[in-house]
Amino acid sequence: MRLDPVHNPTLTRRLGLPLAALVFTVAVASGLAKLAGADPFATLGLIVKGAAGSKFALLETLNRATPLIFTGLAVAVAFRARLWNIGAEAQLYAGALLTVLVGTQLCLPGAVAIPAMALAAILAGALVLLGPAVLKLRLGVDEVVTTLLLNFIMLLFISMLLEGPLKDPMGMGWPKSPPIPRDARLPRLIEGLRLHWGFGLALIAAVSVWLIQIRTTLGYEIRAVGLNAQAARFAGIPVNRVIVKTALLSGGLAALAGFSEVAGLKGNLTLDLSPGFGYTGIVVAMLALLHPLGVVASAIFVAGVFVGANSMSRAADVPTYIADISVAVALLSMVLAILLTKFRVVRG
C-alpha cells in the first residue's frame, strides 16, 4: 500500500472526512459509556445538558473555552508556518507570571494595569517561544523537543517562585502568589456569573489572526513558508524573519491565555492554573484545521465536552476520564482525516 497525493480534493472530501472523524469520536465515547454500565444515549444527553442545558452551563462552557481559544490560535499560527510549537503551556505560565508581577508590584490604577498586564504577558510569551525558534534557525535544533521541555522548565520555575519570593504571606502556607487588586481584574460580561471579558478578547484575537492571514503580507508569507520554505526563499521571502515573527505572534497569543485566567478568573498564580490548556490547544487547532475562526468553534466544542463530562459524571456515576479519552480520539482521528484529505491510499 502507498499514499498518492490528492492535488485538488473535492469539497465533499475536505468536509466529509473531518465530519466522519467527529462521528467516530462520538461512537467511541458511546462505547466507553456502555462499558461503564451507563446508557450511551442518556450519557451523551447528560453531556450536552451539562455543557449547554442552562444559562449557567453555557457560560461555564464559554469560560472554559476562553484559554483554549488563545492556545488554539497560538498552535494554529505556528503550525501554519510549520513551526511546531508544543510549548503553549510554558508560554501560558509565562504570561500568567508577568500578569501577577505587573499587577502586584507596579501598583498601577485599574485602567492602566489591565493593558499593562496584557502587554507584559504577550512580551513574556513571545520571548519564551523566540528562544526555540532561534535555536531552530541557527543550529537546526528540533523545536518540538525544545518547546516541550520548556513546559517542564517553566513549571519548575513557577513552583520555585511560589515556594519562595512570590509566595503570598497571607496564603496560610499554600503555594500561591498574592492576588492582583480587584480594580485590575477583567470585568464580568454578566454580573454575578464567572464569564469575563477575556472571552471577548479571545474572539477579537481570533478575528484579528484571521484578518492577518488573509489580508496582510505577513499572512501570505506564513502560508508560503508553511507550504514550501525552499520555494518561498527562492521567491524572495525572508523565511527566517517570517519564522521569528510567527514565533512572536504564537507565543504572545498563548500567553494571553495565562493573562485571562489570572486577570479574569483566578486573581492569582498557582501551579495548577492550567489543567493542560496548552496541550489541549493542539487538539483545538487540529480540529479546526488550523483555521482561526474554526478555533473558536473547536474550543467551545472541546470545552463543552469537559464541562458536560463533569456534570454527566455526577449524574450517571460514569468516570470523567471518558472526556479525556474522547478528546484524544478526536485528535488522532482528525489527524488521520487530514492525512486522507491530502493523500489517497492505493494498493500495490
pLDDT digits 0-9 by tens, 280-305 = 999 999 889 899 999 999 999 999 98
> What residue type is 268 in one-letter code?
N
Q: What is the DSSP letter of 185?
A: S
Span 99-116, mean pLDDT? 91
pLDDT at residue 342, rounded to an integer: 83
pLDDT at residue 228, rounded to an integer: 92
Sequence-ordered list of residues with C-beta below 8 angstroms from that of 68, at least 6 positions apart, any chain? 257, 277, 280, 281, 284, 299, 302, 303
pLDDT at residue 111 greater than cutoff 80: yes
pLDDT at residue 254, rounded to an integer: 97
pLDDT at residue 225, rounded to an integer: 95
Cα separation of 7 and 13, whole Å? 12
Q: For 146-194, how does the pLDDT look when each residue is reduced to its tens digit (9 = 90+)?
A: 999 999 999 999 999 999 999 998 888 889 999 999 999 999 988 878 8
pLDDT at residue 348, rounded to an integer: 64
More confident residue, 293 or 340: 293
- Contact 92/254 with Cβ under 8 angstroms? yes
pLDDT at residue 118 greater than cutoff 90: yes
pLDDT at residue 135 greater than cutoff 90: yes
Around Cβ 326, how many Cβ atoms within 10 Å?
Answer: 22
- Measure the CA angle with vertex 228, ends 224 and 232; round to 5°: 55
Over the chain, what is the mean pLDDT? 91
pTM as predicted: 0.92
Span 104-118, mean pLDDT? 90
Nearest to 197 by CA among 95, 129, 118: 118
pLDDT at residue 299, rounded to an integer: 95
Span 38-58, mean pLDDT? 85
pLDDT at residue 38 greater than cutoff 90: no
Nearest to 301 by CA among 30, 52, 42: 52
Q: What is the DSSP letter of 266?
A: I
Q: CA dist 123 to 174, 184, 250, 265, Å?
A: 28, 19, 11, 21
Cα separation of 104 and 178, whole Å? 7
Task: Report the share of the chain in percent with pLDDT over 90.
Answer: 63
pLDDT at residue 8 greater than cutoff 70: yes
Least confident range of 98-112, 180-194, 323-337: 323-337
pLDDT at residue 339, rounded to an integer: 84
Span 321-342, mean pLDDT? 84
More confident residue, 200 or 323: 200
pLDDT at residue 39, rounded to an integer: 81
pLDDT at residue 274, rounded to an integer: 92
Cα torsion angle, 88, 69, 72, 78, sign: negative
Q: What is the DSSP letter of 263?
A: I
pLDDT at residue 334 greater than cutoff 70: yes
- Contact 187/196 with Cβ under 8 angstroms? yes
pLDDT at residue 317 greater than cutoff 80: no
pLDDT at residue 244 greater than cutoff 90: yes
- Contact 157/90 with Cβ under 8 angstroms? no
Q: Which residue has the cell 519562595?
A: 164
Task: Report the share of the chain in percent with pLDDT over 70.
Answer: 100
pLDDT at residue 331, rounded to an integer: 82
